Structure 1
Amino acid sequence: MTEKSAPPNGRPPHEVVAATLRERIRAGDLTEGTRLPTQKHLVSEFDVNRTVVRQALETLKREGFLTDTGRGAPPTVAVPATQSEAPQTSGTELSERLYEAFRAKHVTIDSFSLTTETFNSALSGARLGVFDRELTPESVTVRVIVPSPTARLAIPRLIDDPDDPRVVERLHELQRTWTNALRLSLEGLRDRGHIAEVSCEIRTVAATPLHKLYLLNRTEALMGYYRVLEQQVTHQGEQLDIFDVLGIDANLYRSSAGPDCRDEQEASFVKDSQQWFNSLWDHISEPFPAN
C-alpha cells in the first residue's frame, strides 16, 4: 500500500496503519511497555511514506495507545484507560458527534427519524462553532427521511381509537415545523457567508420509524430505538391520550468506521447502515410535501 494507492475499504493510508497497529496492541502482539518498531521499519512494512506513519502514530497517541518518550526514540506501547461504552441520550450524543463531524472539509449527514426534533436541537452547538470560526467546513450536505403524511403509521396513535386522524395531523404539524426549522438553520449558514455550499433535502417514506439513525460523513453511525410510551398531549386545545415514542431522551449507540473503529464488524455496521439509507432514498422515498 502506498499513499497514492487505494487502501482497503477506501480508507486513508494513515487510518489503515493506525487500525493495524491498534489491533496488534489489543491482541497483545505489541505488549504494554515495549517499544514500537521504528518509523523506518513501519514505512517499509506498510509501503507508505514517513508522513503517513507519523499521522498514524499521532492518532494512536491521542487515543492513549502510545506514549511519546522523546524526540528520536520510538514511542512506547500503552494500554489506554477503559473508556465508558455506555450510550448517551440522543440530545447529548448527537450534539457532540455533530460538532466533531463539522470539522470535516465536506460534511455529509443522513437522518432517518420521526420529526427531526432531536437533529434540530443537537445542531445548535455545531452552528455556534461555525459562527465562531472554530468550525470551517466548505460544504454541508444533509439528507433527511421522515414518515410520509399519507402513510398509516403504527405510532403515534390515539390509545382508544387508532383511526382518529387528530394524532396524525399533530405529527404532520411537528414534521413541518421541525423540517422547516432545520432547512432554515442550515441555509442560514450559507446565506450569512459562513459556508459556501449548503444542501438540505427532505424526503418521506411510507413506513413507521421504530428506530432513529444518523450517518455522519459516511464514517459514523448513531442508532437508537424508539420506545413506545403512553403520553397526554395537546392538539388544537384538546387533550389527547396517545401512544407516542421516546425521542430526544432515547439512547444512541455509536459505531465508527473511522480511525477509532474497534473491529471489522463495527465498520461493516456503518457501511450497511449507509447502504440501507441509500436504498430508501434512491428507490422508495418521495419529496416532502410543501403544504
Structure 2
Amino acid sequence: MTNGDSAKSTATGRKPRPQQIADTLRMEISDGLYPPGATMPTQEQLADRFDVSRPVVRQAMGELARLGLVRTKQGSGTVVLDSTVPTKPSMVHLAPYIREAFATESRTVTLDLFTLTAESMDTHIRTQVARIRDGEIEPPERITVRVMIPSTEALLAFPRSVDDPSDTRPLERHRELTSRHAPSLVEALMSLKDAGLVNEVSARVRTVPLTPSHKLYILNKKAVLHGLYRLVEHPVTYKGDTLHMLDVLGLGSTLFLYTTNDAPGAGINDPGFVEESQRWFDSFWDHLATDAPFIS
C-alpha cells in the first residue's frame, strides 16, 4: 500500500484535504518515488488516486510548488525539482525510520516526539496506521506515543508576520494547525485499539510554554532523529488573505540520526546522545509540560 492509499483511506474514512495530499506526495518525493526530473502523475490521475476533485489536487500541487519541490511546464506536466537531499550517512529523512519503528521485531512501539505542530508526524503516523489496518505489517502488541508541542496559549517567537509583528493571524493559524493535527494523530492511533488490532495503545499530548528551536524524535528508545528549525519567509493564504510570514518549513526537512549500539542502519553511533535525549524529554514532560486542553 502506498502513502497515497493511506491519504485516500484515512482512519476515519474522510476524504483528504489538499494539505494531506501535499504531505503524502512530499514524502514520496523525499523517499525517491518521484526523483528529480521525473514527471508527476497528471491532475486527473491524482484526483482518481485520492478520490478528490481536480481543484483539490491543484491546491495540493500548488503547495508543492511553493515549497520548491515541483514546477509545472506548459505541455510537459509537473516536474520534480532537484531539492536538497541528505549527502551524509548521518543525515536522513523521517519516513523510512517511522516505518522501521512500526515494523519492530519486539512488537512494542515507543515514540517520544518533540515538535512544533505535529503536522508532519500526523501524516507519518496515519500512514503506519493504514499499513496495519491493511495487513501490510503485523500489528504490534503495544504502542506508546508521547507528543510534546508548544502551548497554544504561549506567545511564540514564530510564526509571525514579516510586515506587522503585532498581527495575531500567524499565531491563530498555528494554533489551528496544532489543535487539528495533534488530536488527529491520537485519533488514528486509538482507532487501532478500538478495532481490536492492537491490544494496548497509549497516545498522549502535552504542551510546554516555549518556542522550539529544534525537533526531536526518539524511536523505540534506540534511535534519535534531531533537526534544527530554520526560519524562512514565505506567503501563506489564511482566511482569504495572503500573509507574508516568518516561519519554519518542517515537512521533509533533513534530520540527523543518532543510534545506540544495537540499532541497525546508518547514523551516528552515539548511545550517550540517545540516553541524554531521553532524559531531556522525560524532564520536560514530567516537570514543565501540561496536558493539552484540546485532547479529549
TM-score, structure 2 length as denominator?
0.65
Superposed displacement of residue 263, structure 1? 11
Q: Offset at 1:94?
A: 4.2
CA distance in 2, matches of 1:263, 1:126: 22
- What is the rounded CA distance, in whole Å, between the counterparts of 2:269 and 2:223 in structure 1? 13
Which of 186, 190, 197 lines up with 1:187 in the alignment?
A: 190
Q: Report the counterpart of residue 132 of structure 2 in structure 1.
A: 130
2:291: which partner in 1?
287
Instruction: Return the offset for 1:97.
Output: 3.7
Cα distance in 2 for partners of 1:181, 1:256 equals 29
Matches of 1:124 and 1:172 in 2, distance apart?
Answer: 21
Q: Find the counterpart in structure 1 of residue 281 from structure 2.
A: 277
Secondary structure in 2 aligned to 1:173?
helix
1:290 Cα shift? 2.5
CA distance in 1, matches of 2:177, 2:257: 26
Q: 1:106 aligns with which of 105, 108, 119?
A: 108
Aligned to 1:121: 123
Aligned to 1:153: 156
Question: Residue 182 of structure 1 aligns to which amino acid in structure 2?
Answer: L
- In the alignment, does 2:213 pair up with 1:210? yes
SS at match of 1:180: helix
The aligned counterpart of 2:229 is 226
C-alpha distance 159-223 of structure 1, shift in aligned 2 (>3 A)? same
Q: Does 1:256 align with 2:231?
A: no
Q: CA RMSD in A?
A: 2.3
Alignment coverage as a number of residue pairs = 207
Identity level (%): 35
List aligned pairs for 1:3-18, cutoff 5 A. Answer: none
Aligned equivalent of 2:5: none
| Aligned residue among 199, 203, 213 for 2:202 | 199
Rounded Cα–Cα distance in structure 1 between residues aligned with 2:171 and 2:136: 41
Give the deviation of 1:125 after TM superposition. 4.0
- Cα distance between partner residues in 2 of 1:94 and 1:241: 33
Letter in 1 for 2:169: R
The verdict on how the C-alpha distance between 1:290 and 1:99 changes in structure 2, with shifts beyond 3 A counting, is closer
Deviation readout 1:9-48 (Å, 9 max, x if unpaired): xxxxxxxxxxxxxxxxxxxxxxxxxxxxxxxxxxxxxxxx
Matches within 5 A, 1:40-189: 85=89, 87-90=91-94, 92-101=95-104, 103-131=105-133, 132=135, 134-189=137-192
| DSSP-derived class of the 2:146 partner | strand
The runs of 5 or more residues in structure 1 that have no matched partner are 1-82
Q: 1:81-139 CA deviation, whole Å, 9 max, x = no partner?
A: xx96052333x3444343344x4322211110011111112224422332206223111
Retained in 2: the 8 A contact 1:109–1:215? yes
In 1, the alpha carbon distance for the partners of 2:191 and 2:261 equals 29
Tell me the secondary structure at the aligned position of residue 255 of structure 1. Answer: strand
Distance 1:256 1:133 in 2: 26
Q: Is the 8 A contact 2:90 2:257 kept in 1?
A: no
Contact 2:90 2:267 survives alignment (8 Å): no
Distance 1:203 1:115, change over 3 A: same
Higher mean Cα deviation, 151-160 or 262-271? 262-271
Query: Does the aligned pair in 2 maintain the 1:220–1:258 contact within 8 Å?
Result: no
> Which amino acid in the other structure matches residue 173 of structure 1?
E
Q: 1:290 to 1:128 in 2, by over 3 A?
A: closer
Contact 1:110 1:216 in 2 (8 A): yes
SS at match of 2:232: strand
**Which one has a bigger Cα radius of gyration?**
1
Gaps of 5+ in 2: 1-86
Are 1:255 and 1:269, in contact at CA under 8 Å, matched by a contact in 2? yes
Deviation of the 1:257 alpha carbon: 1.4
